[in-house]
A = this chain, B = another copy of it.
Amino acid sequence: MLESHQYLRQFSIKPSVQRSAVMHFLLNNRIHPTIDEIYMALSPTMPTLSKTTVYNTLDLFVEKGAVRALAIDEKNARYDVDISAHGHFMCKSCGKVHDIFDLKPSMFQIPESESFRIDSVEISYLGACKSCKGN
């Protein structure tokens, strides 16, 4: 909790109780959670927490660069507190999202373009995970 507090300050985010709780969850659950997963995980110990606050909070985290929003899952937005260069794999069967760390750093370079100002890259893989493979 105090660490989350510190962590938020590094991104110049004012650490409210709710924001610290959300960041604490993200730092300790590297599962690329959805808004609902975050809300469900926190609401037992924070009964007054509103889902709108979770939306607001994640929007703020993304805006401040503390968290990255992933588009890999068409059903729900997913959030990643690990902002280092890495890719993701989603199992089309169970929906879990995993990190793919062993990719060439060059893959995350921004290509030259006259036409666009490119701000970010997302590298996504789809398929079946080990436990869903035999399905």
Which A residues are closer than 8 A to B by beta carbons?
69, 71-74, 77, 87, 89, 91-92, 98, 100, 102-104, 106-107, 110-111, 113-130, 133
Cross-chain contact B125 with A111 (CB below 8 angstroms):
yes
Cross-chain contact A128 with B117 (CB below 8 angstroms):
yes
Shortest CB-to-CB span from A107 to chain B, Å, is 5
Task: For A120, give the chain B residue with the smallest CB separation.
Answer: B126
Task: For A91, give the chain B residue with the smallest CB separation.
Answer: B116
Contacts of A133 in B (CB 8 A): 117
**A-B pairs with beta carbons under 8 Å apart, 9 shown:** A91-B116, A92-B119, A102-B111, A103-B111, A117-B127, A118-B125, A119-B127, A120-B125, A122-B126
Shortest CB-to-CB span from A36 to chain B, Å, is 15
Contacts of A114 in B (CB 8 A): 130
Cross-chain contact A115 with B98 (CB below 8 angstroms):
yes
* Interface residue from B71, B111, B118, B127 paired with A74 (Cβ < 8 Å): B71
Shortest CB-to-CB span from A82 to chain B, Å, is 18
